[in-house]
Amino acid sequence: MQRTFLAFQHNAKLHSLQTVVQAVRSVASLEEVNKVLFKNASEEDHVVVTEQTIFHPQGGGQPSDVGVIRAASGASFDVSAVRMNAMTEGEVLHLGRFSDASSQFKSGDSVTQAIDAEKRILYSRYHTAGHVLGAAVRHLLENEVANFDELKASHFPDSASCEFQGLIEGKWKDSIQARLDEYINKDMPVEIDFWDEDDFKANGLERLIPDRKAMGMADDEKFRVVKIIGAEVYPCGGTHVDSTQLCGKTNVKKISRSKGTSRVSYILP
């Protein structure tokens, strides 16, 4: 199997896509490491692999897209979860259920994918807002908090937060909110680009260079980055809105601290 082409990384506004089925597998036939990815799957569920996908797999702090895949024959497959194959590098697994068990896809079938656009937009707003929050905290506190650094983030609507190295005291909450509001209201453009190591170095961002080998990337393959013009650049494979203002009002919920790290949680009303 070749790697699934991630169409959403090149055009996040694409809500439907025609592609070709490469494989259909029952959940029971999956390897154990892949079964673990779909803990809520039932015996009636299947996994579909396609040449391309507009479905964002869960990862990078972003939930997976959901939606439907349809064939001209009338076969329809409701996608409930999407993950990267734990064994085959770069292959995307779409978990779901055929609406009619007697009408399923075959390898080579032409199909049309359609995502739940409303959820995609919500996830994109949360993901971009998380990066804007990270930029606001960095610019405000990197010289105020000992050993400061950005660590990781979750952009799930019910548990959105950014984690930082260093102890951020509660007194900073209002200042973080003010800086976040400033960046949102500035309507900063959000652009997607593809960089190699030299591009990171040219922009003074050596600290952000991803581990090419750990990501299973070829030597000549470029890293996808999201650029918040006027704020920060982040290596990122997720979906985003076109400007900070499109995130909408973003509220800092609380700051929690534990074992030398701080978590700043946020919510979009």
Based on the fold, state whether residues 250 and 145 are members of the same structural domain: yes
Based on the fold, state whether residues 157 and 48 are members of the same structural domain: no
Residue 214: phi and psi, rounded to 5, are -65, -25
Q: Please tell me the predicted confidence (pLDDT) of residue 218.
A: 83
Q: What is the CATH number of the domain that holds 83?
A: 2.40.30.130
Mean local confidence (pLDDT), 61-67: 97
Q: What is the pLDDT of residues 78-136, one digit of tens each?
A: 999 999 999 998 999 999 999 998 899 999 999 999 999 999 999 999 999 999 999 99
The whole-model pTM stands at: 0.94
Residue 79, amino acid? V
Task: Burial-class residue 159 by CB neighbours within 10 Å (0-12, 13-18, 19+).
Answer: exposed
Q: Is the pLDDT of residue 216 over 80?
A: no
Q: What is the pLDDT of residues 157-185, one digit of tens each?
A: 999 999 999 999 999 999 999 999 999 99
Based on the fold, state whether residues 153 and 105 are members of the same structural domain: no
Percent of all residues in the chain with a pLDDT value above 90, rounded to a whole number: 90
Q: Which of 97, 115, 133 is the last residue of a domain?
A: 115
For residue 210, give Cα distances in angstroms to 106, 207, 234: 37, 9, 10
Q: Which of 56, 86, 115 is the last residue of a domain?
A: 115
Integer Cα distance of 91 and 22 in angstroms: 11
Q: Please tell me the predicted confidence (pLDDT) of residue 1.
A: 57
For residue 108, give Cα distances in angstroms to 20, 22, 50, 115, 190: 6, 6, 9, 21, 37
Domain hosting 189: range is 120-267
Concatenated DSSP letters of 60-115: TTBPPP-EEEEETTS-EEEEEEEEE-SSSTT-EEEEEEESSTTS---TT-EEEEEE
Based on the fold, state whether residues 155 and 252 are members of the same structural domain: yes
Q: What is the pLDDT of residues 193-213, one digit of tens each?
A: 999 999 999 999 999 999 888
Number of domains in the chain: 2
The angle at the Cα of 80, spanning 92 to 72, to the nearest 5 degrees, equals 75
Q: Is the pLDDT of residue 215 over 70?
A: yes
Based on the fold, state whether residues 220 and 91 are members of the same structural domain: no
